[in-house]
Amino acid sequence: MNSFVSASTVEAKPAAAEDVVRLVNVKRSFGDTAALDGISLSVRKGEIFGIIGRSGAGKSTLIRCLNGLERPDSGEIRIEGRDIVGLAENELQPVRRRIGMVFQHFNLLSAKTVEENVALPLKIEGIAKSERLARARELLDLVGLADKAKAYPASLSGGQKQRVGIARALAARPALLLSDEATSALDPETTRSILALLKDINGKLGLTIVLITHEMEVIRGIADRVAVIDAGRIVEEGQVWSIFGNPESAITKSLLAGIRPQLPEHVAARLSSAGGTEAILSVDLAGPQAQGALFADLSAAHPHSFRLVHGGIDHIQSQPVARFFIAVPTRDPGLKDEVEQFLTARSARVEVLGYDTDHV
């Protein structure tokens, strides 16, 4: 292990209850449009916190407020306990040095070598050349690019450029790393390698990371907690496994549609609001109940009460998360209600999607 990793691990040991970021009722409008409409959240030291939403949800404005580039109209933004709202530009500078930024399009200087790009924040601070280049080499070793120190950005792949961007963001030993859509320009395999690197850095350095993204796979890959933002408001927040297992808001369900089991299209196409031979139910479970003998117990309690249409079990943050679709015969008017009650009593979220008009 190199000296940089071991020293930083000692320096950055997290205090679990300490908030690095705390927002209280933050509002920011542009004309009549509310980009942020009362955002409140906290990010604990050493945590990877995801903020996800569609384009135009307010993510970009939020991240610009976090690093002081955008001033909110009202509310508090505390970084390591200090409210940065209202600070003069010269007062913001030391706060910004505690914040590293990783960008979607890398923002590397093409005329400078890799090590010069990494060392640039330290040059701006006036750190001696020998010290800043030594720091750059340590960081390039950390991100797996020690052999690229003298190369220029044009010779690097997209994933390598992002690794350089991450190394540069760590140059000034920040307390907080902001990742602004850092993987959205990368292919899936490279994305996984960058997420693994961020997770590794978080573990080794105890670094607090806030991920801004529109990709649920990114959140699933490394985040501890997630906030879903829509129209400038947080519509859902919690542990990643819990949100994935039991999404409540329509926007969260929509964002998850690509990575959670969905009712097969040919079944969904023939559903009606009433009058079918079977009621189609979605059943969402998270935690221990998701891998228990739920359907075996249901069959024992109510024989011939359902058939399994589609679904599966996943594991997120070592927690089982499941979604199933079942069909309940409508021949007995009370059977659907009995099945729903049985499932909800066992912590399942149940929704009647409609009635199958064609199944025999």
Domain-located, residue 113? yes
Tokens 């979607």, residue? Answer: 104
Would you tell me the crossing angle of helices 158-169 and 114-124 to the nearest 10 degrees?
A: 20
Q: Are residues 237 and 288 in the same domain?
A: no
Domain-located, residue 350? yes
DSSP string, 173-217: --SEEEEESTTTTS-HHHHHHHHHHHHHHHHHH--EEEEEES-HH
Half-sphere exposure of 43 (CA within 13 A, CB side): 27
Q: Are residues 246 and 296 in the same domain?
A: no
Number of domains in the chain: 2
Q: Are residues 277 and 246 in the same domain?
A: no
Tokens 């309940």, residue? Answer: 328
Q: Annotate 268-292 with b (16+ C-beta within 10 A) or e (fewer).
A: eeebeeeebebbbbbbbbbbeebee
Domain-located, residue 125? yes
Q: Are residues 29 and 175 in the same domain?
A: yes
Q: Are residues 105 and 9 in the same domain?
A: yes
Domain-located, residue 261? no
Convert the pLDDT of each residue in 21-71 to its tens digit.
999 999 999 999 999 999 999 999 999 999 999 988 999 899 999 999 999
Residues spanned by the domain of 129:
3-256
Backbone dihedral region for residue 347 (phi beyond 0: left; psi -120 to 50: alpha; all else: beta) = left
Q: Are residues 304 and 222 in the same domain?
A: no
Q: Are residues 30 and 134 in the same domain?
A: yes
Q: Are residues 236 and 213 in the same domain?
A: yes
pLDDT at 92 over 50: yes
pLDDT at 227 over 60: yes
Task: Please tell me the predicted confidence (pLDDT) of residue 105.
Answer: 85
Convert the pLDDT of each residue in 265-275 to its tens digit.
999 999 998 88
Domain-located, residue 104? yes
Given 256, 287, 322, the domain boundary residue is 256
Q: Are residues 16 and 88 in the same domain?
A: yes
Q: Are residues 38 and 160 in the same domain?
A: yes
